[in-house]
């Protein structure tokens, strides 16, 4: 995901800082993005790397796509160093995470979903839930989501949509979301093209009336990572504007970005 965001940033004309952080035993090399040669460093070097980056690129905004286990430690690091960031990583202790960011007073865009059109769908679901609470009371819900096998946690987007369905009167917990991570099942059951097994997001939400005579189905299937990378770049541009304006509000999500018309 990091490479896709870096490529989208270069294509959008942003200055790509030639440094990135990765996990243990994965640093010590370079990756080339466009005409930029990016140095890859392990997180054990993060303070030294950031010292240099802040000196040379004082207006830097960090983009985080890592693993759920790293969310809280990374957020604490960004807050301690007072660096604005865009967090697309899901999982971790979200309450602790948000408390950390609030107390730090730094600017951040935090969202489980960066795809612009999917964000619009998510916003529409929230609006429907607010305006028509309990409209689906008594209905049953089935949710199934498929992502690449390296995604270890339940989709944050699925959890957000389920939250809207609960407001619409459905009794459904996040634990009931069905995760598909087996490649064979993804191809045969979910219809994922083989070439996108390493990068996809297929979601289906099926609602049924108590007697089974009425059904509603909502579905969004994404192949590849371009939609998320482009949305992440939009979030970076949005956040840079808020930092420059010294906006009173500090923590944003992608719906904030969408509402401000900052989607390219």
H helix runs in the chain, sequence order: 2-11, 46-56, 71-80, 94-104, 116-131, 156-167, 183-188, 226-245, 254-259
Put residue 110 in one of left, alpha, beta given phi > 0 → left and psi -120 to 50 → alpha: beta
Structure tokens at 224: 């590849």
121: how many CB neighbours lie within 10 A of its CB? 16
> Pick from 3, 222, 242: which is nearest to 117 by CA?
222
Phi, psi for residue 181 in degrees, rounded to 5: -125, -5
d(CA 227, CA 54) in angstroms, rounded, equals 29
Please tell me the distance from the alpha carbon of residue 73 to that of residue 76, in angstroms, as a whole number.
5
Active site residues: 147, 151
Q: How far is CA 159 from the centre of its chain?
A: 12
């Amino acid at each position: 995901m990091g490479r896709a965001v870096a490529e989208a940033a270069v294509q959008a004309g942003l200055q790509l800082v030639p440094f990135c952080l990765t996990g243990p035993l994965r640093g010590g090399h370079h990756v080339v993005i466009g005409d930029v040669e990016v140095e890859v460093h392990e997180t054990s070097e993060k303070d030294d790397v950031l010292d240099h980056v802040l000196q040379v690129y004082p207006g830097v905004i960090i983009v985080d796509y890592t693993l759920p286990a790293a969310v809280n430690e990374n957020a604490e690091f960004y807050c301690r160093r007072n660096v604005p960031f865009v967090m697309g990583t899901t999982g971790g202790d979200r309450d602790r995470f948000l408390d950390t960011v609030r107390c730090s007073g730094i600017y951040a865009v935090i969202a489980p979903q960066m795809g612009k059109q999917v964000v619009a769908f998510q916003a529409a679901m929230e609006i429907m839930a607010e305006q028509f609470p309990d409209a689906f009371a008594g209905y049953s819900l089935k949710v199934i989501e498929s992502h690449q096998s390296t995604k270890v946690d339940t989709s944050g987007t699925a959890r957000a949509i389920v939250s809207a369905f609960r407001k619409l009167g459905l009794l459904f917990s996040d634990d009931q979301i069905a995760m598909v991570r087996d490649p064979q099942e993804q191809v045969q059951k979910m219809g994922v093209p083989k070439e996108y097994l390493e990068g996809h997001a297929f979601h289906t939400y099926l609602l049924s009336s108590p007697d089974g005579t009425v059904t509603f189905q909502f579905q969004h299937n994404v192949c590849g990572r371009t939609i998320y990378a482009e949305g992440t770049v939009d979030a970076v541009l949005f956040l840079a504007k808020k930092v420059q304006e010294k906006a009173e509000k500090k923590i944003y999500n992608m719906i904030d970005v969408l509402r401000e018309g900052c989607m390219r």
